Amino acid sequence: MQVRGFAELMYRESARLGFARACERVEHDAAVDHPNEWVIDDRRISFALDRDLSPLELQLYQRLLEELLKDAASGEVMLTPEGRPRWAVSVGHAASGVPGAPTSHVEGSAGRDGDDADTDITAVRFGVGRK
């Protein structure tokens, strides 16, 4: 499926160390597979994606982005898979003006035939439901 996404995350500590830790937690280094999608500076990580992904690859990217958000001071991420709900999360000043305050939302309708099996775990964890 065609997927578009981006991330812009700021860190109080080393962004490179935060990226390495996140890759370790998901047991995959996405920058090795697709290095042109990532820009990792001293305290900032940027990500841009526009290509075909399998459902498994999409899930892996989402897990990695969730892990990157755990250590971020502020920023936002978004993944928009074709034919599926958009997944977006903001943290810190980008979300509310309060450092480290996460928000999350999933846009779109319920799954096919009323099946909600693909409900976003992050959205559930932060208490935000589908629109």
- Locate the domains of the chain by residue range: 2-125
Q: Answer yes or no: are the C-beta atoms of 72 and 11 closer than 8 Å.
A: yes
Which DSSP state fits 34? -
Q: Which residues pair with 8 in a beta bridge?
A: 46, 76
Task: Identify whether the C-beta of residue 2 lies closer than 8 Å to the C-beta of residue 81.
Answer: yes
Residue 93, pLDDT score: 63
Q: Please give the model's pTM, rounded to 2 decimal places.
A: 0.70
pLDDT score, position 120? 42
Q: Which of 5, 15, 4, 3 is nearest to 74 (CA)?
A: 15
Q: What is the pLDDT along the chain (131 residues), one digit of tens a residue?
A: 999 999 999 999 999 999 999 999 999 887 787 889 999 999 999 999 999 999 999 999 999 999 999 999 999 999 999 999 999 999 986 444 444 444 454 544 333 344 444 444 444 444 444 44
Angle between helices 15-26 and 55-71 (to 10 degrees): 140
